[in-house]
Structure 1
Amino acid sequence: MDNSMNEHHETHAYIRVSTKQQGYESQQEAIKAYADNKGLSVDKVWTETITGTSKGIDRPELKQCLNRLRRGDTLIVWWIDRLGRDYSDTASTIRALLDQGVNIRTVNQDLTFTSSTNTQQKMLNDLMITLLTGMAEADRVNRLASAQAGRDALSKQQWQEKFKGRQADTALHERIRELRTDGVSIRGIAKELGCNPSTVQRVLKA
C-alpha cells in the first residue's frame, strides 16, 4: 500500500510585526481569508514581535516554524520580507525552504514558490527570488530612510504641533504607509499615531 496517499501535509502561517502596538490581527485575518479562498486549512500560526533588522535565524518563533515544516508542507506569509532581515537573509531562507521541499505562499501579490526537482521550475523560482527580494530590499531601505526623515522632522516640534506644516505632514504620511506595508489595520495605524482613521484612509488613497 502507498502510504503517501495517507500522508497529511501541513499548512503553517508565520506573522511578524515590529512593535506590540501594531498587533497581529490584520495579518492574521488576511492570511485566514487567503487560506479559505485557496481551500487551505492552517494547522499552526506562528506569531512574533521582533524588528525587521533581526536575522531570520535569530527569531525564535520563525526558527521553530522552519524546524517543524516537512517536505510537502506549505508556509503562508504576508510578504517575503517577513522571512528575513535583508535581501541576502530572505533569499537564503526561501531557498532553504524550497530545498527542504516546502512550498511558500504570499498573501500580498498572491505568489507561490513551488518546491520542485524540475530544473526549469527551479530556475524560475531562483529568478523570482532574485527579483522579488531585490525589490523588497530596495523598498525596505527606502522606508527606513523615510522613517528616519520623519523622526528627524518630528523631533523638531512638540507632539501637538507635529502635524502642522508640509514637512511634518510628509513624515506622517510616510509613517502611515510604512505601517500599512507591515500589515497594520487602518484602526491600528490611527491608534498608534494618534490620528483619525479617516486621515489614515485619505493618505492611503492618495
Structure 2
Amino acid sequence: MLVGYMRVSKADGSQTTDLQRDALLAAGVDPLKLYEDHASGKKDDRPQLAACLKGLNAGDTLLVWKLDRLGRDLRHLVNTVHNLTERGIGLKVLTGEGAAIDTTTASGKLVFGIFAALAEFERELISERTIAGLASARARGRNGGRPYKMTPAKLRLAMASMGKPGTKVSDLCTELGVSRQTLYRHVSPTGELRPDGSKLLVGN
C-alpha cells in the first residue's frame, strides 16, 4: 500500500499542500492515505507524521514530495528511514535533491546509504571539533569550576551520543563540560531534542 505524507512550515494558511497533494495522488496514493502537518520541520510535535509512521505496515511504501518534508535534519531522517527499513517499509521521494531515493529498489538503497554515511561523517566531525575545543580550553587553564553552558556543537554531539550502547552519561557530561541537569534539559536519554535544545539550535 502507498501512503503519502505532506508538510508545510506555516499554520496560518499562507502556505498550502496543494502541489504536494497533486504529486502524491499522481503517484498512486489513495486520498484517504494522505497525512498532513502544518509545522516547522525543526519541531518535534508533528502529530500527523507520528500517526503516519505508526499506521504503516510491512510491505507499505511511504511517499513524500521532497526529502525535507520528512526529516528535521539529516540525523533524524537517517534514523527514521532505518526504523522504516527494519519494519519492512519502503520510502520513495518524488522530486528534489532526494528524488533518487527509493528504498524499495537496490539503487535507491545505495543512494540512501550515502546519506547515512554523510550523517555519520557529520557526527564524527562534530565530535572531533568538540573534543579539540575542550582540550584547548583545558590547556588554557579552564578546568573545573562551574560547568560551561550548552552550545550548538555540544548539543549535536550529545544528540549523536545519547542512547548509543556504551555511552556513559557521566563521562559525556565531563567531556562536554556541562552538568547532568543541563544535558537532560536539552536532550532526552535517547538523543531526541527537548524544548531547550530546539530553541538553542533554532537560534544558531
Taking structure 2 as the reference length, the TM-score comes to 0.49
Question: Whose helix proportion is higher, 1 or 2?
Answer: 1
Taking structure 1 as the reference length, the TM-score comes to 0.49
